[in-house]
């Protein structure tokens, strides 16, 4: 397996972990927050999904269209919903667009655009995929902490931890 193939498989597994989490959340879970101005679980999930398109709008706009369409005219970074199917769709569209953009930029040798001078992966566009995995992991950890604090039973928490099986395949 090449390095890129390995990273693409990691993105597929990350997508499966996100779907697993969505499958095991209740409507009440989606409304949880720290209560001090932080995002709700639904808002975190929305942010996770939309972040791919948000970055692509800046770095590789040709690959932004699917996320933009799902946002329905909302400024991409402001999009959020409590609709799990809409969140799933945003994850799928964003993952597909991110992979396509990275593959295209790797094939052409052209770096991502950097209109704001923030350093859009100058060493390799492939790091954008890794950044998405790390970003999602960060927010999944926050979500699991909120679920613990909300009184989820140990059995329910153990069930959520089974997502690690996806990484161990």
Q: How many domains does the chain have?
A: 1
Q: Is pLDDT at 35 greater than 90 in this prediction?
A: no
Q: Is pLDDT at 145 greater than 90 in this prediction?
A: yes
Phi and psi at 118, nearest 5°, equal -100, 0
For all residues of the chain together, what is the average pLDDT? 94
Whether the full predicted model's pTM is greater than 0.75, yes or no, is yes
Percent of the chain predicted with pLDDT > 70:
100
Sign of the four-CA dihedral 86, 58, 14, 25:
negative
Q: Are 166 and 13 in contact (CB under 8 A)?
A: yes
- Tens of pLDDT, residue by residue over 71-127, are 998 899 999 999 999 999 999 999 999 999 999 999 999 999 999 999 999 999 999
Rounded Cα distance, 120 and 96, in Å: 19
> Which domain range does residue 70 map to?
3-168
The CATH number linked to 146 is 1.20.120.450
Under the banding of pLDDT at 50, 70 and 90, the label for residue 1 is confident
Comparing CA positions, the residue from 43, 42, 61 lying closest to residue 53 is 61
């Amino acid at each position: 397996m090449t390095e890129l193939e390995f990273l693409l498989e990691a993105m597929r597994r990350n997508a499966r972990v996100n779907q697993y989490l969505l499958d095991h959340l209740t409507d009440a879970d989606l409304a949880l927050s720290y209560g001090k101005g932080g995002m709700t679980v639904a808002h975190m999930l929305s942010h996770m999904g939309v972040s791919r398109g948000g970055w692509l709008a800046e770095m590789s706009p040709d690959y932004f269209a699917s996320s933009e369409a799902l946002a329905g005219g909302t400024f991409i970074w402001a999009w959020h919903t409590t609709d799990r199917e809409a969140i799933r769709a945003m994850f799928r569209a964003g993952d597909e667009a991110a992979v396509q953009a990275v593959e295209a930029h790797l094939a052409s040798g052209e770096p991502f655009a950097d209109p704001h001078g923030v350093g859009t992966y100058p060493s390799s566009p492939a790091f954008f995929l890794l950044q998405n995995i790390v970003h999602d992991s960060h927010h999944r950890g926050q979500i699991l902490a909120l679920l613990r604090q909300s009184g989820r039973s140990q059995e329910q928490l153990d069930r959520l931890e089974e997502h690690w099986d996806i990484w161990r395949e």
